[in-house]
Chain A
Amino acid sequence: MIFGRVAIEQSHRLPTGGEIDRLAPLPFRFDGKAYRGYAGDTLASALLANGVTVVGRSFKYHRPRGVLSAGPEEPNALVELRGGGRKEPNSRATMIELFAGLEATSQHRWPSLALDIMELNDLASRFLVAGFYYKTFMGFPGWRFYEKRIRAAAGMGSGTVEWDPDRYEHMNTHCDVLVAGGGPSGLAAALMAGRAGARVILVEETDGLGGRLRSERETIDDKPAMGWVAKTRAELADMDEVRVLTRTTAFGCYDDNMVGALERVADHLAAPPEHMARQRLWHIRAGRVILATGAIERPLVFGGNDRPGVMLAGAVRSYLHRFAVTPGKRAVVVANNDDGYRTALDLARAGVEVMQVLDTRPAGAGAWRERAVAAGLDVMQRAAVVNAYGRMGVVGCDVATLDGHGGVGDTRYVPCDLIAASGGWSPSVHLHSHGDGKADWDDGIAAFVPGANRLGHVSVGAARGRFGLAEALSDGLKAGAEAAKACGFAIGAHPDTPITDEIATAPLKAIWSIPGPTDRTVKRFVDLQDDVTIDDIALAHREGFVSVEHLKRYTTLGMGTDQGKTSNITGHALLAEARGQPIPTVGTTRFRPPYTPVAMAAFAGAERGLHFSPVRRSAMHDWHAEHGAVFVEAGAWLRPQYYLRPGVTKAKAVMDRAIETEVRAVRSKVGLVDVSTLGKIDIQGPDAAEFLNRVYANGFKALPVGKARYGLMLREDGIVDDDGTTSRLGDTHYLMTTTTAHAAKVLADLEWYLQVVWPDLDVRVTSVTEQWAAMALAGPKAREVLAAAADHGTAVSNDALPYLGVINGSIAGVPVRLFRISFSGELGYEVNVPADWGTSVWEALIAAGEPHGITPYGMEAMGILRIEKGHVTHAELDGRITLDDVGMGRMASSKKWFVGRGMLDKPAFIDPERPKLVGLVPVDGKTRIPAGAILVADPATPPPVPKLGHVASSAYLSPTVGHPIALGFLARGRDRLGETVWAVFPLRNLSVQVKVVEPCFVDPEGSRLHV
């Protein structure tokens, strides 16, 4: 790969140390410029190594921003990663593992990162305070005008309209103990649980184990702590029941210890190799959950605290130790806790000139402070940075003493290019909170720690505010042992907690904002990404937005891609100060999954494209395909819509002709249609007749063996639910058919009645939809075809198989069930065949029908045939229709109780004004009556127009009667036969005068059925 000249060769890289591999240099580009980093770098560390200070722009004021952190909490260093369908906007440079050829660009700026025209917002910032948009843009020329401009200016990175070429997987698994976090406490927990024999899963967000140990100089048992990590890792690797998942983020805790975790399988590669998923989403059902999620450092709030070069102190140590990068050459360190000293000592050790160490706490002794002083560092206590300078990178800052009452002493300018700041650490209580865990305020660390937790999640180490290494280890060991024990494993001897060489820390003293210069152009940021300043919080308070929920919504505090990981507590604390109440009274917001953002495709997994939903195909699908079927989705099924003749291509006119041909064939000769999709439910048991009699509105008790009957089912609220035929195959054996759409629902309903409502009935029901292929043979020649196809011994004469008769027989050597029923209104037979032999029987019928011109037909023709006969489907039975509405009220048995009967006489159901099923024909004999048209008395009425009903189904041309026909519902429709009304379709500016007729256009006497 040719990657251009490398301009600057890692000016800020230390010659030794770190986890990077200096033998594996990796070329990459940022904003088109070529750089080089090393394996083990993140994009952030590689950019810092190359002296790049500005990486992004802030949301509102477009201020130049650098790298603040070294982890998932990063609010500033967001870039667009990769390109094409793999483009990922808003990617945190701190979490992007460097790979050869990586390409990233800065975002949310125009025309370039260095010169961004929208930075003008910064100059206008006094107008763009929190909530300014609620107070203006109400007048001319309207919100939509302003909105277009605001939308264009908002957003952060830009998405893509290209499709993501990568694959995503889901994985389900169980374990006894899930440990979230691979730092010292998590490792210790996994070790103990693993030693006990428990099935353990340890998930770690980064590429390696060790957590903060990777970023500190600590020892365990007098050796570098990472040695202990390596040893532990090896021991865990040897345990069969322990699985360690790195690059995996536990993003959410759900009910009953289900933890969602996202494994970034291939994100550290330029592209996933073939057959490798990009990401894998784990559903982990755990017996016990141990949260070793660590803590997140808080920035300090001072003037210009957003300048590139102002960095979290802990992140500075990460860059020094893990990445061997010095984020600056001259540093000022400021903190309200001992991490300042620790950082300053580490910086000095790495050769960085430490200009000043500022401790905001009042003067006092402390082991860390003494060390810093002993090392010759210039320490100021009760002092802080009050303002940082440098638009594209810190060049210096004003430091001053604090008077403890909101004022500052004389300021002194200190040149520097790095300000390492620490406002203390907040435990990552996110996962704890997902499971309804409460958060308690801990004044000692000025942060929320995990409180009561219903799900029994145990937080350990820094995740519960115990920041010392020894405590983290002992916490982890104890929790791991207890979790394994709770899962039924015997615990061996508790090992001694490893020995650490920690220096005692002096307590933190919270300082939520550092008093600053009165100059209003100096901003002190609480939320860096969304540019929420302390002035915004004061304004929100002034205007009464005094709950944390209101604060966050009004100012957008914590609403950025980082979800306030570095800003929420500070913001809430400032609000608490303004309200004059303690922080826990003011409260904190509840966290919801995901902990860090998760790609939509990872959630969707394999359910994309054609795999979005399973496809159901009938047993004869391939035959249809080979014979020109054009398929159409019918729920999950694919069904032939119509058949194209060989050599003909799909077109509207072709389709209309094909459908017409199919209809004519059924009416004049014979046709065959695949009806396998109808639900089929086998019903058996001594009480089956009684059961059917209760679930159907019409009577079923008297149905003799060998007969089929059409039945209608109601819902409990009296509305028609479903229809179909049910046949009595034996004394205690029935076969019910349902509509395609309601097959699953009807089965579940039958099971409901049998198990819950009438457990005394001895009946079993089971779906046999998949077991039987079904086809309907219809037309005047149907009997001749069937007779020709039937094997010897299968008699299909009118006597042997009369209308509504059911017999067993065989065709082509295949045992079949023959039902003389008809949806088309023609002489018809439904043939049920064991599914594996569906095609054989279908082909036998086609062959037998050849001499009679048999024609396979699809859903369109079937639709026209049934409209011609006035048979209803879900186009009519739309969940609001009563039996009376479709003219079937008289079918309901008055002699028995059935489901829904208790509701039938509600006033609205017996209202004579209710629309009733009618047939409709165009008065001019030719104009189509589109489905979805509304029936009105006069098409010229201006809105609101009184509506008389609607057109439910329409045959644009009935080949049988020679003109368009339709079925519809019309108020008092039964009284209006012969009248004319209008079917209007204002969406297409159409209106048709229609005559109201009986809802049956062909053979109203049904004579064709009985021949």
Chain B
Amino acid sequence: MAEYSVFSLIRNALGGHKDWIRAWRDPEPKKHYDVIVIGGGGHGLATAYYLARNHGITNVAVLEKGWIGGGNVGRNTTIVRSNYMLDGNAHFYEHSLKLWEGLSRDLNYNVMFSQRGVLNLGHSDGQMDAYARRGNTMRLNGVDAELLDRKDVQRLYPHLDFSAAARFPIYGGLLQARGGTARHDAVAWGFARGADRLGVDIIQNCEVTGFERDGNRVTGIQTTRGTIGCGRVGMAVAGNTSRVAAMAGLRLPIESHVLQAFVSEPLKPLVDGVITYGAGHFYISQSDKGGLVLGGDLDFYNSYAQRGNLPTVEHVMACGLAMMPYLGRVRILRGWGGLMDMSMDGSPIISKTPIDNLYLNAGWCYGGFKATPGSGYVFAHTIANDTPHDFNKAMTLDRFATGHLIDEGGKGPTPKLH
């Protein structure tokens, strides 16, 4: 049973669910593909999907060293938003948000995109001015944004710390009502199924071990399942970008850092939307299952270990309680670490590379999940046309040389600060 709907669900329920077919096939790799996408995470799968859907390129393989969706698309805090200020980012993320808005139907897979609003709290006049600048820019770009004062925030979230005991009082906030959350795993599976249905081969347990080159072109990908010939190659392996790029002889403006995230025991609805604290790094939402999903700062050192340390955990929780003192007795159930591709200006790279037919999708820092559909969309465009889409034309690899940086935070080339 291929098509998902309430009717197919009922039909199957009556038949004991024996007729459901695999959500995606498990093919043997072919000898050659027109395009090979390295990385079966959200971005890689989305790229394959849009290559087939938008560009009619269906002789495509997605190579995944483990199981699809096992990287950052499966270890994030599921937040989706497009509240960016700089032109190089803003239009891209807004396009991505628009794709989210139709994604479940497009994929025939419920990714549970929930536009419950993303609220950034402000704790000083300076911060509110910065939010105003960002929000005004968003509005001028055609993106929704609302600037809230303290009373507005209190109406929305009456139980935040509005007391005199608040170390950093809440001045107001910037709300993007169209932002929200999605079911992260479903995004990977939905894109995988969508791509598969259009003919893309998703090849799991297939680790890339090297590139075969002919001059300045990649002719094949060496993998643990043999060498596979290719026309073009897209790389979407956030967290491990530097390692895979090194196999192709590329050095990149990227460091890998670990970012921890946490989920609490499931609770009845307690936190409606997505809220971020402004006087420390902390963000929280509540999953549909009831767990509070929260995160904060990086661990601040290069790491590929997918696990973090206690000081960061403790700081994240302290920030959480500074914002929501009533969560004190809520218990943290599980924590995990994702590998962040921290770029040197905090913005992603979706770009051609010095190698003719190798394309790079990397450097997502904290922000890769929300970009998933948009990233696949423009990366597919870039690969298919050998030229960037309007939305990613600023996200080049050479912007560091030209100075056209996209530094939303103004932090400079210290990746841990972005």
Contacts and interface: CB of A to CB of B under 8 A. Distances in A.
Interface string B393-415: 00000010111110101111100
A907 B402 contact: yes
Contacts of B113: 143
B110 interface: yes
Interface in B327-343: 327-337
A134 B189 contact: yes
Interface in A586-609: 592-594, 597-601, 603-605, 607-609
A880 B114 contact: no
A544 B22 contact: yes
A715 B412 CA distance: 8
Given A133-B112, A544-B24, A594-B332, A604 B321 contact: yes
Interface string B9-38: 110011011101111111000000000000
Interface stretch (B130-138, B227-235, B243-251, B366-374): B130-138
A988 interface: yes
B155 interface: no
Contacts of A959: none
Nearest to B19: A542
Given A136-B4, A136-B9, A163 B326 contact: yes
B361 to A, nearest CB: 23
B54 interface: no
A21 interface: no
B162 interface: no
A884 interface: no
Contact of B139 (A127, A563, A943): A943
Interface in A525-583: 535, 539, 542-545, 547, 549-550, 553-554, 556, 559-561, 563
A644 B167 CA distance: 22
Contacts of B108: 138
Interface stretch (B142-150, B208-216, B217-225): B142-150
Nearest to B165: A609
A554 B189 CA distance: 10
Q: Which of A127, A716, A987 has the most CB of B within 10 A?
A: A987
A516 interface: no
Contacts of B389: none
A134 B136 contact: no
Interface in B295-354: 305, 307, 309-310, 313-322, 325-337
A907 B404 CA distance: 8
A837 interface: no
Interface stretch (B41-49, B76-84, B267-275, B375-383): B267-275
A23 interface: no
Contact of A86 (B87, B112, B329): B329
Q: Which of B74, B133, B183 has the most CB of A within 10 A?
A: B133
A715 B69 CA distance: 38
User: For chain B, which range describes its interface: under 10, 10 to 19, 20 to 34, or 35 or more residues?
Assistant: 35 or more
A283 B402 contact: no
B387 interface: no
B183 to A, nearest CB: 8
B67 A944 contact: no
Given A59-B266, A144-B115, A610-B165, A133 B405 contact: no
Nearest to A860: B125
A932 B403 contact: no
Contacts of B104: 138, 143
Given A143-B113, A147-B288, A908 B403 contact: yes
Contacts of B133: 931-934, 950-951
Interface string B32-75: 00000000000000000000000000000000001101100010
B318 A608 contact: yes
A269 interface: no
Q: Which of A87, A133, A984 has the most CB of B within 10 A?
A: A133
A613 interface: yes
B328 A601 contact: yes
B318 A547 contact: no
Contact of A598 (B87, B139, B326, B332): B332
User: For chain A, which range describes its interface: under 10, 10 to 19, 20 to 34, or 35 or more residues?
Assistant: 35 or more
Nearest to A954: B129
Interface stretch (A152-160, A480-488, A808-816): A152-160
B4 A987 contact: no
A932 B132 contact: yes
A593 B327 CA distance: 19
Nearest to B10: A127
A563 B333 CA distance: 8
Contacts of B66: 547, 549
B318 A879 contact: no
Nearest to A609: B165
B185 interface: yes
Given A163-B328, A943-B141, A986-B139, A880 B410 contact: yes
Interface string A116-148: 000000000011010011111111000110010
Contacts of A133: 110, 112
Contacts of B110: 133-138, 143
Contact of A944 (B130, B142, B412): B142
B187 to A, nearest CB: 11
Interface string A923-937: 000000011111010
A890 interface: no
Nearest to A87: B329
A633 interface: yes
A568 to B, nearest CB: 13
A66 B402 CA distance: 67
Contacts of B25: 544
A161 interface: yes
B356 interface: no
Nearest to A435: B307
B186 interface: yes
Contacts of A936: 140
A608 B402 contact: no
Contacts of B313: 603
B124 interface: yes
B329 A88 contact: yes
Contacts of A988: 147
A880 B130 CA distance: 14
Given A607-B318, A908-B402, A599 B140 contact: no
Nearest to A907: B402
A150 B20 contact: no
Contacts of B315: 607
A90 B329 contact: no
A611 B330 CA distance: 20
A903 interface: yes
B112 A152 contact: no
B246 to A, nearest CB: 24
Contacts of A5: none
Given A258-B310, A592-B336, A603-B313, A880 B165 contact: no
A905 to B, nearest CB: 9
A260 B136 CA distance: 45
A561 B334 CA distance: 9
Contacts of A593: 335
B332 A156 contact: no
A255 B308 CA distance: 9
B8 interface: yes
B199 interface: no
27 contacts: A87-B329, A89-B267, A127-B10, A127-B13, A133-B110, A135-B110, A138-B4, A155-B267, A164-B329, A252-B310, A258-B309, A542-B18, A544-B26, A547-B67, A561-B333, A592-B337, A598-B332, A604-B320, A607-B315, A719-B412, A879-B407, A908-B403, A932-B132, A936-B140, A944-B142, A950-B133, A986-B139
Interface of B: 4-6, 8-10, 13-14, 16-18, 20-26, 66-67, 69-70, 74, 87, 91, 104-105, 108-110, 112-116, 123-124, 126, 128-137, 139-142, 145-147, 159, 165-169, 183, 185-186, 189-190, 204, 264-270, 279-280, 286, 288-290, 305, 307, 309-310, 313-322, 325-337, 399, 401-405, 407, 409-413
Shortest 6 CB-CB distances between A and B: which pairs? A879-B410, A932-B132, A155-B290, A906-B403, A908-B403, A943-B142
